[in-house]
Structure 1
Amino acid sequence: MEFNDRITKVIEYTELSPAEFAEEIGVQRSSISHIISGRNKPSLDFIMKIKNNFPDLEWDWLINGKGEMLHNKDVEKPDTEKNNEETKVKEKKSLPDLFSLLDDENFGKDPVSNSNARDFDKTVQRQTQEKISDSQRLENNGHNLKAQRKEIRRIVFFYTDGTFETYEN
């Protein structure tokens, strides 16, 4: 069994998501992702963080894949009641996922139906149109400037002693 498979098995054993597992052992989420995918090999520090946070794991199994995963073969999963109490005590906040931020009942509906909101929308649309026309005008002027021949007006040399010289055309 490859190391990435053993890490996947440890994550399943802990009943944590890979992101929660990364937070639990104190590594970046990308580290877990790269190791699980086989892109990176784990460092000794990474393995020690796993072992320190989950002491039931066997060293030989974790490092070499030999023997049993846990010290006590009778233990299938961690004591979930104990873990739930510890989790409540620690209560680490994670970021909400994108879909939990959606208000399903009002999805796609006009969020505000009063006249102030409509006036605000019209103002934003007008300002957006003005910015678009301003940027088009600047773009057109830029093309005209490129057509003109550029000439050097002035060259300034700054010296390390704080003096400077100016040459003008």
Structure 2
Amino acid sequence: MKDRILRIMEHEGISPSKFAEEIGIQRSAMSHIISGRNNPSLDVLTKIMQRFTYVDTDWLLFGKGSMVKNGITKIEEPNLFRENEINPPIVQVEPEYRKHTEFSKPEITTKNTGIEQIKYEERSSKNVSKIMIFYSDNTFETFTPEKNKKE
């Protein structure tokens, strides 16, 4: 049955993903049918027969007779886009310009802030005697200034 479905796709000139889209099933389901992993369900077969009305039901289901029903050839459905693909209309598009909106300029006000006096503080009489650094691995280092170091 997968060979007959492939023959319909070949007759239509469409890919498996486009065929799945045409009949309204997921592409993965179509891929499973083509690979032979799954057989087409009744729902899939019904959708094929509804979409491709020229296909003979006996041929699709049992492989008997010809693919096309008696005297019916492929029905070409009107496609609005196909004609435009061949002869695309030439349309000149005028660029849209943004309308300018005038905004009032905000008033700039300045605060008269007084100049702060920098206060100079003399150093305290305290001196650094030791600096300890603790690490995450529970080790530490101790640093002492040279002038306070006892020898």
TM-score scaled by structure 2?
Answer: 0.50
* Greater C-alpha Rg: 2
TM-score scaled by structure 1?
Answer: 0.45
